[in-house]
Amino acid sequence: MNTDSNVAAGTGAGAGDQPGSGWLAQARAEVARDPDSVTRAFAFTARRVGRAPRRPGTDPAGVVHGTVDDAARAALVVALADAVGTGPDCAERLVSLYRQGDAAERRGVLRGLDALTERGDLGGSETVTDTVTARDATAEPAAGPAPLVAAGLDLAADALRTNDPSLVAAAVGPFGSRYLDQHTWRHAILKLVFQGVSLDAVSGLEARADDELDRMARDFAAERQAAGRPVPADLDRLTTTPLSSTPLSRTKE
Amino acid sequence: MRILDPHIHMTSRTTDDYEAMYASGVRVVVEPAFWLGQPRTGVGSFTDYFDSLLGWERFRAAQFGIRHHATIALNPKEANDPRCREVLAEIPRYLLKDGVVAVGEVGYDSMTPEEDEVFAAQLQMAREAELPVLVHTPHRDKLAGTRRTLDVVVESGLPPERVLVDHLNETNVAMVLDAGAWAGFSIYPDTKMDEDRMVAILQEYGTERMIVNSAADWGRSDPLKTAKTGHAMLAAGFSEDDVDQVLWRNPVAFYGQSGNLVLEPVPGFTEGAPPTPGVEFEGSSVLRGARA
């Protein structure tokens, strides 16, 4: 029996710098040979590579920038896409990993979509549109979004509904920044502020922030002040002029 | 006194219980999947239940500083309903999940052929998943049920040290220990075992491979029975180390065989402080009233 190893999460094969990197390399190779093995690897990831935050200094809970197991699962998603391509089969597999996964596994799928987005490999060229309506109006009826993008948008929508801060944060990375429609994206950003999660979680914040988000941030600040509650400092990042320098000065609790 | 309650159905308990358990020394719990009083009628209600054991309940426990784990299985009572048996196809994927430390509760209720079949199938799933097994012994005809349980375990080829046979009493403890399995005792307010009978059994059989739980659930039960048994042991002359063995090291050794037990304190938890505001699971919080 292995009662000594039952607590430790980072007991990898010893290769590489990070605990568990040997295991991860093996698991990726296994996914390349047998794509179905990703299900088991996804379930075991945290036990093999650990659950530590990626940037413990600024993000001790691993909510904003994710955890080492998030990053490892993202690498498994990339290995899966390399093995089965970025078509409907991959989309179906990611949806299943997400739906049958616990919260950590779900983050892994979302962060995997981020990794695929960053290397420009989602099998399509869907562009950011202003609203759902605008998207519908401009979509080419024959083509539509690539299967991975469509699946990813469904999963991101699910993550944003949960109110689990780590899932919301994982839904506004490069994938969300690139593909969420503007209305959904704005609400995701405000939700992070509401939950007290640093906007450092958001990929491409400055590029996508707009006047409407500025208005929503100001309204939210006013609502907080009316209730005599503190105004989150991150709201300043959403407005063109700092809220703290306007007459709506920050309240103290 | 540090305590791992190796069998408690927290889904049926309140946040007051979590707070009182923490104060009494409970730091880790294992919640076996079981029946809910109201019979289930289909696979979906099992998978939602399993998901809640691995999701919502783990979150809820952590808000009170307690590490929560689960055992997953189709229980013997519902194994008799063909609509429920279809969940067997879903169980292997749950056995891979983080925090699943055993297959259980399996075993017998009325000792029907259906129960035999489902029990044997799940013992094989445990072998394949390399997990230990938590076995429930029947409330009725307990002695015969325990004997048959041990026979089926031997037939399955599962090593006996991977099996915890639960709900034992004076009449069947020797049989289980002789078979090389772990002996579990559920300490209840009235029925089954009480603290003093438990102490007498420990005096007779020693503290090796002996495990004590509260089995607290939706019936009359007491989630502090583990701590109360520890105090009864001390009053009867057992040492602090004996108590630690029975209430902590033994269940850690048994479930540790899964390689899936997390014992570190919950990060950021401070005893006596209210749960962190704004922390939610799937849109729900353990807090009431004003939220961040």
Note the pLDDT tens digit of each residue in A94-125.
Answer: 999 999 999 999 999 999 999 999 998 787 65
A1 touches chain B (CB under 8 A): yes
Query: For B71, phi and psi rounded to 5 degrees?
Result: -115, 145
Mean pLDDT lowest for which of A95-104, A226-235, A243-252, B219-228?
Answer: A243-252
Q: How confident is the model at residue A159 (pLDDT cuts 50, 70, 90)?
A: very high
- Mean pLDDT, rounded, of chain A: 84
Of A3, A46, A61, the CB nearest to B98: A46
Q: How confident is the model at residue B283 (pLDDT cuts 50, 70, 90)?
A: low
B279 contacts on A by Cβ (under 8 Å): 165
B263 contacts on A by Cβ (under 8 Å): 6-7
* pLDDT at B142 (0 to 100): 87
- Mean pLDDT, rounded, of chain B: 92
* pLDDT at B3 (0 to 100): 98
Going by the DSSP 8-state scheme, the letter that residue A233 receives in this structure is G
How distant is the Cα of B162 from the closest Cα of chain A, in angstroms? 9
Closest CA to A117 of A70, A71, A174: A174
CB contact under 8 A, A6 and B161: no
B283 contacts on A by Cβ (under 8 Å): 161-164
Q: How confident is the model at residue A240 (pLDDT cuts 50, 70, 90)?
A: confident
How distant is the Cα of B283 from the closest Cα of chain A, in angstroms? 5
Size of interface A-B (CB pairs under 8 A): 69
B161 contacts on A by Cβ (under 8 Å): 1
Going by the DSSP 8-state scheme, the letter that residue B123 receives in this structure is H
**Is the complex ipTM more than 0.90?**
no
B93 contacts on A by Cβ (under 8 Å): 39, 43, 100
CB contact under 8 A, B98 and A102: yes
* pLDDT beyond 70 at A9: no
* pLDDT beyond 90 at B197: yes
User: Which residue numbers of B have CB closer than 8 Å to A's CBs?
Assistant: 51, 54-55, 93, 96-98, 161, 252-253, 255-264, 267-268, 278-283, 292
Q: What percent of chain A has pLDDT over 70?
A: 81
CB contact under 8 A, B292 and A196: yes
* pLDDT beyond 70 at A150: yes
Q: How confident is the model at residue A215 (pLDDT cuts 50, 70, 90)?
A: very high
B261 contacts on A by Cβ (under 8 Å): 6-7
Of B55, B98, B264, the CB nearest to A47: B98
The average pLDDT across B176-202 equals: 92
Of A2, A102, A196, the CB nearest to B256: A2
| pLDDT tens-digit readout, B68-88 | 999 999 999 999 999 999 999
CA distance B18 to B149: 33
How distant is the Cα of A155 from the closest Cα of chain B, in angstroms? 14
Compare all CA atoms of chain B with the CA of A230 and give the residue at the minimum distance.
B292
Compare all CA atoms of chain A with the CA of B48 and give the residue at the minimum distance.
A100
pTM above 0.90, yes or no: no
**Which strands sit side by side in the sheet containing B100-107, from one edge to the other?**
B3-5, B26-32, B67-72, B100-107, B133-136, B163-166, B182-186, B210-213
Closest CA to A25 of A43, A48, A2, A5: A48
How distant is the Cα of B55 from the closest Cα of chain A, in angstroms? 7
CA atoms within 13 A of residue B174's CA, in its CB half-sphere: 3
CA distance A171 to A187: 12
* pLDDT at A140 (0 to 100): 46
How distant is the Cα of A127 from the closest Cα of chain B, in angstroms? 30
Closest CA to B60 of B276, B240, B289: B276
* pLDDT beyond 60 at B5: yes
Cβ-based neighbours of B162, under 8 Å, separated by 6 or more = B126, B131, B132, B133, B257
CB contact under 8 A, B98 and A40: no
How distant is the Cα of B124 from the closest Cα of chain A, in angstroms? 18
CA distance A64 to A75: 18
* pLDDT beyond 70 at A10: no
Of A6, A102, A162, the CB nearest to B97: A102
Compare all CA atoms of chain B with the CA of A163 and give the residue at the minimum distance.
B283
